[in-house]
Amino acid sequence: MSGASPDWLRDPRQLFDVTGKVAIVTGASGAFGALAAKVLAAAGCRLVLAAGNAKALEEVAAECRGLGAEVEAVPRRPASEADCEAICEAATGRFGRIDILVVASGKNDVAKITEMSPERFLDVMDANVTQSWLMARAAGRRMLAQGEGGKVVLMSSARGRLGHPAGYTAYCASKAAVDGITRALGCEWGPTGITVNAIAPTVFRSPLTAWMFEDTERARSVREGFLQRVPKGRLGEPSDLAGPLLFLVSRASDFYTGHILYADGGYTAG
Ligand SMILES: NC(=O)c1ccc[n+]([C@@H]2O[C@H](COP(=O)([O-])OP(=O)(O)OC[C@H]3O[C@@H](n4cnc5c(N)ncnc54)[C@H](OP(=O)(O)O)[C@@H]3O)[C@@H](O)[C@H]2O)c1
C-alpha cells in the first residue's frame, strides 16, 4: 500500500456501506428480487421496487418499510422503453438520483427445441435479455448524467455457461446473452465509474425451482443427480445471494466490472 491510508482502513466494513444509496430492483416480487430488496433496505438504501404482480410487490415493499427503508413501489415490469423510463422516473422523482440497479426479473420456459414455438423462445429472450438491456440503458443514462459512477447488477445463471439436457435452449441462450451484455457494458462504461456485473447462481429455492425441492420421485432423482456435481452438497437458498449482492453494489467491488460471479456451491468449478 502506498501513500496515505485509505479512509476505510480503521473499519473495513465501510467498504460495504450503502447507506442512503438509491437502488432500483426489478422483479422485486420474486424470490431473488424480494431478497435483494430486503438486503438493500436493511443496509440503509432508499428503494424503488418494480414488478408486474402489484399485490406481491406491495407485500415486499411493506417488509422493506418495516426494515426502515423509504420505498417507492412501481407495479411494472421493465417490458418496454416506456416502462423502464417510468421506473427510473419514480427514482429520480422521489429521491433525485439512481445509484444502484438490480435486474432481478426474468423467466424460464422449459421445452425441447422441437416442441418449442419461436414465440416462446422469444418470450424468454425478451424477459431475460431485452429487458436487462432496456433497464440498464435507462438507469445507466441517468447514472452517466450524474457523473458519480453507479452499480449495475444483472441476473445470469450457471446456464449462461453450461448447457442442460432438459429443454433449456432458450434459457441457456438468454443467460449467455446476459453475460455478453455484462461484459460489453462493463467495457463500455469502464472509464465512467459505473460497474456492470452479474450474479450467476445454479439452483436456488424459488417458484421457478420449487419442484426440485419437493419429496417426489422425480424431484429426488433430479436433485440427487445434480447434487453429485455440487461440491458444497446442497441446493441454494436466496440468502446465499445476499453477500455477492452486497459486494457488487458497494464500493468493495469498485475494481470489478464485466464479471460473472458464480454463486453456485462450486458447481461450475468442477
Ligand atoms: N431460481 C433459480 O434457481 C435461478 C437460478 C439461476 C438464475 N435465476 C434467475 O434469477 C432471476 C430471478 O428468478 P427467481 O428464481 O427469483 O424467480 P421468481 O421468484 O419466479 O422471480 C421472477 C421475477 O421476474 C418477474 N417476471 C416473471 N416473468 C417475467 C417476464 N416475462 N418479464 C419480466 N419479468 C418477469 C416476476 O415478477 P412479476 O410476475 O411480478 O412481474 C418475478 O418477480 C431470473 O432471472 C432467473 O432466471 C434463478
Concatenate the DSSP letters of all residues of 236-269 into one string: B-GGGGHHHHHHHHSGGGTT--S-EEEESTTGGG
Domain count, the chain: 2
Average per-residue pLDDT for the chain:
96
Tell whether 32 and 150 lie within a shared domain: yes
Judged against a pLDDT cut of 90, whether residue 166 lies above it is answered with no
Regarding the beta carbon of 131 and ligand 1, being less than 6 Å apart is answered: yes
What distance in Å separates the CA atoms of residue 86 and residue 92, rounded to the nearest whole number?
Answer: 10
pTM of the model: 0.97
User: What's the pLDDT band for 5 if we cut at 50, 70, 90?
Assistant: confident
Please give the pLDDT value at position 180: 98
Ligand 1 geometric centre to CA of 172 (Å) = 15
Is residue 32, in this structure, part of any structural domain at all? Answer: yes
Tell whether 109 and 222 lie within a shared domain: no
Q: How far apart are the first and last CA of the chain?
A: 35
The closest-lying atom of ligand 1 relative to the alpha carbon of residue 178 is: 45
Q: For the sheet containing 46-50, what is the strand order?
A: 71-74, 46-50, 22-26, 100-103, 150-155, 194-201, 260-263
Closest C-alpha to ligand 1, atom 46: 106
Closest C-alpha to 268, from 111, 163, 132, 153 = 163
Tell whether 41 and 83 lie within a shared domain: yes
Is residue 1, in this structure, part of any structural domain at all? Answer: no
Please give the pLDDT value at position 197: 99
User: What's the pLDDT band for 2 if we cut at 50, 70, 90?
Assistant: low
User: What's the pLDDT band for 152 if we cut at 50, 70, 90?
Assistant: very high
Tell whether 215 and 191 lie within a shared domain: no
Residue 88 structural domain:
12-201+237-261
Ligand 1 geometric centre to CA of 4 (Å) = 45
Judged against a pLDDT cut of 60, whether residue 87 lies above it is answered with yes
Catalytic sites, residue numbers: 171
Dihedral sign for Cα atoms in the order 2, 149, 261, 232? positive
Regarding the beta carbon of 106 and ligand 1, being less than 6 Å apart is answered: yes
Please give the pLDDT value at position 6: 86
Tell whether 223 and 130 lie within a shared domain: no
User: What's the pLDDT band for 3 if we cut at 50, 70, 90?
Assistant: low
Q: Quick: pLDDT tens for 15-73.
A: 999 999 999 999 999 999 999 999 999 999 999 999 999 999 999 999 999 999 999 99
Please give the pLDDT value at position 177: 99
31: left (phi over 0), alpha (psi -120 to 50) or beta: alpha
Is residue 57, in this structure, part of any structural domain at all? Answer: yes
Tell whether 102 and 69 lie within a shared domain: yes
Tell whether 255 and 219 lie within a shared domain: no
Is residue 78, in this structure, part of any structural domain at all? Answer: yes
Residue 72 backbone phi and psi in degrees, to 5: -110, 120
Provide the grid cell at 159. 446456464
User: What's the pLDDT band for 208 if we cut at 50, 70, 90?
Assistant: confident
Is residue 135, in this structure, part of any structural domain at all? Answer: yes
Tell whether 53 and 138 lie within a shared domain: yes
Is residue 5, in this structure, part of any structural domain at all? Answer: no
User: What's the pLDDT band for 157 if we cut at 50, 70, 90?
Assistant: very high
Q: Burial letters for 135-161: b for 16+ Cβ neighbours within 10 Å, e otherwise?
A: bbebbbebbeebeeebbbbbbbbbbbb
Overall average pLDDT of the 172-191 stretch: 98
User: What's the pLDDT band for 228 if we cut at 50, 70, 90?
Assistant: very high
Tell whether 212 and 95 lie within a shared domain: no
Is residue 6, in this structure, part of any structural domain at all? Answer: no
Give percent above pLDDT 90 in the chain.
89
Judged against a pLDDT cut of 90, whether residue 244 lies above it is answered with yes
Judged against a pLDDT cut of 90, whether residue 156 lies above it is answered with yes
Tell whether 192 and 211 lie within a shared domain: no
In 3-state terms, what secondary structure has residue 221? helix
Please give the pLDDT value at position 165: 82
What distance in Å separates the CA atoms of residue 168 and residue 102, rounded to the nearest whole number?
Answer: 24
Q: Which of 57, 84, 105, 124 to mutate to test the pocket of ligand 1 (most atoms within 8 A of CB)?
A: 105
User: Any idea what the CATH number is for the domain that residue 92 is in?
Assistant: 3.40.50.720
Tell whether 216 and 252 lie within a shared domain: no
Tell whether 26 and 112 lie within a shared domain: yes
Is residue 267, in this structure, part of any structural domain at all? Answer: no
Closest C-alpha to 197, from 178, 176, 173 = 178
User: What's the pLDDT band for 8 if we cut at 50, 70, 90?
Assistant: confident
Regarding the beta carbon of 186 and ligand 1, being less than 6 Å apart is answered: no
Judged against a pLDDT cut of 90, whether residue 218 lies above it is answered with no
